[in-house]
Each structure stands twice: as C-alpha cells, then as structure tokens.
Amino acid sequence: MIKKNRKKTQTKFPVPIPLVALVLVLAGLSLVYVCLQSRTETLGREIKLLEASRDRLRDQLVRDQCEWARLQSPSNLEQALKQHGLVMTWPNRDQIVRIRYDGSLDTPRGLDSRQASRVARADRIVMNVN
Amino acid sequence: MSTETRGSTRFVIIVALLGLAMVGLVIRLVVLHLGSPEQDRATSAKTRTFKQTLTVPRGRILDGSSSAGILALNVGVKDIWADPSVLLASNLVSRTVKSLSSLLEFDTAEVTERLCRTNSRFAYIARLVPDEKADQVEILKLPGVHMDDASTRSYPQNSLLCQVLGFVNSDGVGSWGLEQLMEKYLKGSPGLIESRLDGHRREMMDRRIREVPAKDGADVILTIDQNLQYIVEKALDSAMERNRARAAFVIMQRIRTGEILAMASRPSFDPNRYREARDPQKINRAISHTYEPGSTFKVSVIAGALDAGVVKPETMFDTENGRWLYQAKILRDYHAYPRLNVADILKKSSNIGAAKIAIMLGNERMDRYLRAFNVGGKLGIDLPGEEGGIYPAVAKWAPISSSRIAIGQGVSVTGLQMLSILCTIANDGVVMKPYVIKQVVAADGTVLLRRQPEALRRAIRSDTAALMSSLLARVCEEGGTGTKAGVEGFRVAGKTGTAQKVIGGHYSETDYMASFVGFLPVENPEIGMIVVFDEPQPLHTGGAVSAPVFGEIAEQVVRYLGIIPAEGSVPAHRAAPSASNETF
C-alpha cells in the first residue's frame, strides 16, 4: 500500500499579483487624494477667515482714519483749545526771530543782542516774546 | 470534487465579486466626476456656483497741506433688512420693530407696514447704519433680520470746501464737484470671485474658478490747504453775518504757479446730508457765478493803456468834477475831482478817468488786451461748472461800450477771471492756468496724474506789470480806496469794486456787488485773493465790506505760509473801521 503523502501540496496564490498591486496603488492614491483634499479644505477655511479678518481690519482702519481726520480738522482743534481755555494767537511781527542761512538774525524790535544770540543758539523761531 | 478545490473556487468567486464591486464603484466615481449627463451637470453647477463682486473703497480726497488732511473717504456701514415672511410666520413684527427702534432711527409706521407685506421676502429696515450700531443690532440676534455690507461717503470736515468737493449719490457715483470730475480715478475697479459652494453653502476655496482682484480707487490730492480754507471760511462766515449779504465767495491763488489755495462760497451745505441742500447752496459761485465786476475791472483797461504806451502814470485827465456827458449819457464819479493823473484815477477809482483812458486806447486794442487777460473765456480750471463770462465781440460794441466796459459795466466775469487779471499783473504779466488738483495717486503708490504750473500766455510786458503793481499798491495806502485791506508789515496791492446789480434790465440803486481783489507782498508777490459779497447791507462798497475781509484773511495767511516781508517795507496803513467811511 502506498503511503499517503500527507505533506500539504503547494497551492498557487489564487489572485494574480498584478491585480493586487493595482488595488494597492489605487488605495494609496485614494488615500493621498483624501489627505490632500482635507488639507486644501482646511487651508481654504483659513484663507476665508483671514480674508474676513482683513476686511474687518480695513473697515476699522477707515473708521479710525475718518475719526482722526475729524479730530485733526481746524474747527475741531479750535473748539478743543477753547474748551480747555487755551488762547493761542498768531505771533506779532516783532515776536518772530528769523534765522537766515548765513547765520545772521532778523531780530525783532526790542530784543537786545544778548537775547538775540541766545535765540540763535536755540535754533528755533521764538514766539510770544514779551 | 475535493475539499481544497471547493475552497479555492469559493475564494476566487468572493475575490471576483469584491473586484467587480470595486470596479463598479470606480466606474460610478468616474461617471460622477466626468460623465454625468449635461443637464445634471448644468443644474449642479448652477446651484453650487456663486459669483461675488468685490466692491472697492472709493479713493480719498486729501488736502495739499503737509499733514494731508482727509477731506472725503468711504466708510463701511451696514444695510439692515428683514424677511417679512419669517417675521409674520412667527408673529414677531411688532417686537422686532420695537427692539430696533430703540437702536436705530427710522419711521416705525413705515417699517411696520413694509414688514407686514405677506408676499415679500425682503424689506429694508434701515440703510447706511454705522458699524457700531449694527453691532448692537447683531447682539439682539433677531430672527429674520439680516445685514449686508455697504459703504457710504463721509466728509469729516462737514461743510468745509463743500462746493469744490461735491458729493456722491446713493448709488456711489460722484454727482457734483470734484467727486463728479474725478469719478474715473476715484471709483477704482471692482473685483470678482467665482467659486463653488459645499453642502453648507460655504465657499470651497480649492474650487475657486476665477478671481479678479479689485483695484482700489486712487487718492486725489488737492492744492487747497484745509487750514487756509478754514481761515477763509471762518472770516467769510463772520463777514456774511456782519454784512447780512445774500451770498459771497473768496478765492486764494498762489501767484507764481496758479495753484488754488482756498476757495469758499456762501451759502454752503453739508455734503454728508446733500439731499437737504438747495441748489443755491450747491453752486460754486467762485467759478460759476458771473457778475459785472465794477471798478475792479479798471485794472485791466489801465494796464492795457500803459502797456500800449497810450498813457503814462503821470498823464493828466480832466475828470469833469465828477459828472461827464458822453454819447448822450451821463457818467458820474462817486467823489468829484477836477483833474486826476492815471495813477490817481486808479487810486481814487475815477469812473470818468477810466472811461477816458479806454477811449484813448481804442476799441480794437482794448479788446485785444482784455482777451489776453482771458476775459470772455474759461481759464480751464479743473473743476466742473466753470463759466466763461459775458463779453461781447468788439464788432458789436456801441460807441459808448468802451467807456462802460472800462468801469466794469456791460461785461460779466467770474471771480476766478477777475482774480486771474490781478494775478497776471503780479506774475510779471503772464497768465497762469489755475488748478486745484495737485496729483492723483493710485492705491499702490503709482502717480497717475501730476499737474504742473502752466503758463497760458503773456498779457502785458513785465515792466508794465511792475508799474501796475506799484500803482495798485497805492490803492491800499493812505488816501486810497482799499486801505482796509492792509496787512501790518506788508505792502498790499489791490483794487476795490462796487458794482450796481442789474435788476429788471436796470442798474439797481440799492443792490450792489462789493469786491476787493489784490495780492501781496507787492515786492515779491506770493498770494492773490478776491473777496466778493452779493448785496451786503447796510455797507455796500468794496472798500468797506470786502477789503477788511481781505486784510483779516491775509493777516493770518502770511503767518501761516511764513511769507517774509520785504526789506524796508513800510507797515501798511490800516484805517479804523467806521460805518461812515465808505469808499468807492
């Protein structure tokens, strides 16, 4: 009697290797696609948020510019000075010292030479000198 | 069939089925992405695609001072609207109106009526609501109430420079003044976004189809300085009140360049509330209103006669003791003089003297000089609504015309034209084109337009201009008609004018146009200015009404601009204000 061969016979892999490879590649590509899609969507949402934030900041800037222009307007400045009891007038001709490029002075009447040189050192236009 | 064979077959079948399912899914995926029927694709694209126009802020208008003050800009606001069907379904109309009326200003009855329209799904509650108030509304979270972004034009300085700036209508289109003229630069170009939406109606950034970036409106920078404008308007307002005038205007020009530094007209309006303004308030009288200039016009005729060599400053004229019959019509002087030379004819403003000079000059030559001074033609200022005045062709002049035109009758000019004549004399005889727009700068900093001073023509020789300047300076000195225009420390040149208004075809005995036009400093002219009052009461002469305003403004302007008096210049005589001290 012939002894039964109990050694398991070597069976061939039932699915073709190229098909498996194709499926794996497709699965990989799908995974990459989903990842990229998700990342893009996240970036899109961030861009939208930043755009909205930019628009809000721009609106705020314009409103502040408008308010600043109103505050800086000559009529508002005058009103503010009045409100705080500050009296400002243009200086009279004899209250202005002009310093020329050559260093000489156009001294106001009544300003002695010592005062004039002090003024020249100060390098500025003196107002309201009495 | 063995057990192994059966197992292997089942495995193959299962794998095959799974494979088929996968293939089916892939095919469906491909069909969905690429091959769906045309109609489905169109419907899908329509519902999931949106187009958004990106509105751009209109450019700003800035003044010409070093601080570049903002005169006009666009501010973001909200339009608040509601869906009446939602409010009606939930019976929330009265509650919504009550909640909103505490925050917003609107006609509650009208809004309630709008919200009760059953067949409507859209009704405005309030438009152009400031963002701060809109934020308060948002906190209330009222069902069926929505907000849309909008923008409105704001003029932070209110009525300052209103006629020059103009205004923008509710559609955002410039409709008056510079807003209208510079529309193409200010409006910019809107952008566009075309994209797809997801199931939650949110934009899918990765599916953005088209994006055209918006181009912000360019900024327009003026030559006008807001500080000078304020000085002018303040002085004009107080003088309007003092003289109870019907209207008035002032123009200030830089002599050497033609830049307009200030331009004010009264009555005025607030461009933030332009709908409430009446037509007379919107008119820029400085360039759109023509009037008979009266004695100020003598300057052009005398300058022409001196330039042509017909007369000299010392040439004597018989001024007929203030009453002269010419061409069967009587011409009178306000103050009677027997004889005056040319210099004094100008200083004392003698009508008879000026008429005789015009006759000596002759019609043809006089016409040539007047046209050279741009009388009868527009100067081409960059503002809408400039008038050219009324000046008849010389061929149509009556024998009496030259004698009347010489004293500013039978000819109409705008304030700008009259100022230009004086500025031409101050500018060595060269007519400069006046302008208010210094430059236009795009949002990215590119300069789109830069205006340079432009000389139009030479009207008189340089030596004649210098001579005329010195003669005009005498008008503002002791004994002249314009002493009240004097500025301490400076020599001022100018001419007063008091023109009777033509009412019903006749010269009125009660209604006058009082004017003063001049420049300073005489030695090195920097600024020219004209001040005109329409029907001032009770004083009505240029010397009493307009000259003091010129002096008041000039006094501050020379300090603001840092104009230095010439060496050895004599402080101007400034007569004390007096109601009886009327001069012609």
- Position A115 pLDDT exceeds 60: no
Which range has the worst mean pLDDT, A60-74, B61-75, B109-123?
Answer: B109-123
Which range has the worst mean pLDDT, B47-61, B125-139, B199-213, B280-294?
Answer: B199-213
Model confidence at B413, pLDDT cuts 50, 70, 90, reads very high
The residues, ordered by sequence, that sit 6+ positions from B297 with a Cβ below 8 Å of its Cβ are B405, B406, B407, B408, B411, B413, B418, B421, B497
Q: Would you list the domain boundaries of chain A?
A: 17-81, 89-122
* Average pLDDT rounded to a whole number, residues B32-43: 70
CA of B70 vs chain A CAs: smallest distance (Å): 6
Residue B176: the pLDDT is 92
Residue B95: the pLDDT is 86
CA of B488 vs chain A CAs: smallest distance (Å): 8
Model confidence at A114, pLDDT cuts 50, 70, 90, reads low
CA of A103 vs chain B CAs: smallest distance (Å): 17
Return d(Cα A121, Cα B331) in angstroms, integer. Answer: 63
Nearest to B73 among A23, A43, A62 (CB): A62
Return d(Cα B324, Cα B301) in angstroms, integer. Answer: 19
Give exposure, A15-51, as e/b (b: 16+ Cβ within 10 Å).
eeeeeeeeeeeeeeeeeeeeeeeeeebeebeeeeeee
Contact B26 A26 (CB under 8 A): yes
Instruction: Return the structure tokens found at B45.
Output: 């694209």
Nearest to A62 among B12, B76, B230 (CB): B76
Contact B75 A63 (CB under 8 A): yes
* Average pLDDT rounded to a whole number, residues B91-110: 84
Return d(Cα B481, Cα B542) in angstroms, integer. Answer: 8
Return d(Cα B583, Cα B392) in angstroms, integer. Answer: 30
Residue B514: the pLDDT is 95
- AA identity, residue A76: N
Residue B580: the pLDDT is 34
Residue A10: the pLDDT is 61
Return d(Cα B130, Cα B152) in angstroms, integer. Answer: 9
For B443-500, the pLDDT digits (tens) are 889 999 999 999 999 999 999 999 999 999 999 999 899 999 999 889 999 999 999 9
- By percentage, how much of chain B surpasses pLDDT 90? 61
Average pLDDT, chain A: 75
- Position B565 pLDDT exceeds 70: yes
* Average pLDDT rounded to a whole number, residues A96-118: 60
Residue A51, chain B, CB below 8 Å: the answer is: no
Contact A75 B204 (CB under 8 A): no
Residue B94: the pLDDT is 85
Residue A124, chain B, CB below 8 Å: the answer is: no
Model confidence at A11, pLDDT cuts 50, 70, 90, reads low
Instruction: Return the structure tokens found at B77.
Output: 């606001």
Residue B4: the pLDDT is 67
Taking contacts as CB-CB distances below 8 angstroms, the residues of chain A near B4 are: 9, 11
- Position A126 pLDDT exceeds 50: no
Mutate to test the interface with B, among A56, A64, A70 (most CBs of B within 10 A): A70
Residue A129: the pLDDT is 35
Taking contacts as CB-CB distances below 8 angstroms, the residues of chain A near B154 are: 66
Return d(Cα B504, Cα B41) in angstroms, integer. Answer: 76
CA of B158 vs chain A CAs: smallest distance (Å): 9
Count Cβ–Cβ pairs < 8 Å, chain A vs chain B: 82
Q: Is B20 exposed, middle or buried (0-12, 13-18, 19+ CB in 10 A)?
A: exposed
Model confidence at B105, pLDDT cuts 50, 70, 90, reads confident
Residue B496: the pLDDT is 95
CATH class name, domain B226-435+452-560: alpha beta
Nearest to B76 among A9, A14, A59 (CB): A59
For A19-30, the pLDDT digits (tens) are 889 989 999 999
Model confidence at B293, pLDDT cuts 50, 70, 90, reads very high
Residue B503: the pLDDT is 86
- Position B33 pLDDT exceeds 80: no
Q: What are phi and psi for residue B522, nearest 5 degrees?
A: -60, -40
Please state whether B518 falls in left (phi above 0), alpha (psi between -120 and 50) or beta.
beta
The residues, ordered by sequence, that sit 6+ positions from B70 with a Cβ below 8 Å of its Cβ are A65, A66, A68, A69, B60, B61, B62, B156
* Average pLDDT rounded to a whole number, residues B328-348: 92
- Position B218 pLDDT exceeds 70: yes
CA distances from A26 to A32, B32, B383, B539 (A): 10, 18, 70, 98
Residue B150, chain A, CB below 8 Å: the answer is: no
Residue B156 or A118, more confident: B156
Q: By three-state DSSP, how is residue B458 classified?
A: strand
- Position B287 pLDDT exceeds 90: yes
Residue B384: the pLDDT is 94
- Position A109 pLDDT exceeds 60: no
CA of B174 vs chain A CAs: smallest distance (Å): 19
Q: By three-state DSSP, how is residue B252 classified?
A: strand
Nearest to B75 among A37, A66, A68 (CB): A66
Residue B127: the pLDDT is 85
Taking contacts as CB-CB distances below 8 angstroms, the residues of chain A near B65 are: none
Residue A30: the pLDDT is 92
Spatial contact of B236 and B549, defined as CB atoms under 8 Å apart: yes
**Half-sphere exposure of residue B561: CA atoms within 13 angstroms, side-chain side:** 26
Residue B428 or B52, more confident: B428
Q: Would you list the domain boundaries of chain B?
A: 226-435+452-560
Spatial contact of B429 and B445, defined as CB atoms under 8 Å apart: no
For the entire predicted model, the pTM comes to 0.81
Residue A15 or B506, more confident: B506
Model confidence at B360, pLDDT cuts 50, 70, 90, reads very high
**Half-sphere exposure of residue B422: CA atoms within 13 angstroms, side-chain side:** 36
Residue B62: the pLDDT is 94
DSSP letter at B52 equals E
* Average pLDDT rounded to a whole number, residues B120-134: 85
Residue B257: the pLDDT is 95
Mutate to test the interface with B, among A6, A62, A89, A125 (most CBs of B within 10 A): A62
Residue B213, chain A, CB below 8 Å: the answer is: no
Which range has the worst mean pLDDT, A89-103, B189-203, B387-401, B535-549?
Answer: A89-103
Residue B315: the pLDDT is 93
Q: Minimal Cα distance from A40: which residue of B? A: B206
Model confidence at A110, pLDDT cuts 50, 70, 90, reads very low
Return d(Cα B158, Cα B162) in angstroms, integer. Answer: 8
Residue A73, chain B, CB below 8 Å: the answer is: yes
Residue B445 or B505, more confident: B445
Q: By three-state DSSP, how is residue B270 classified?
A: coil
Residue A93 or A85, more confident: A85
- Position B142 pLDDT exceeds 90: no
Model confidence at A105, pLDDT cuts 50, 70, 90, reads low
Nearest to A62 among B57, B158, B204 (CB): B57
SS3 letters for B91-153?
Answer: CCHHHHHHHHHCCCCCCHHHHHHHHCCCCCCCEEEEEEEEHHHHHHHHHHCCCCEEEEEEEEE
Model confidence at B543, pLDDT cuts 50, 70, 90, reads very high
Residue A70, chain B, CB below 8 Å: the answer is: yes
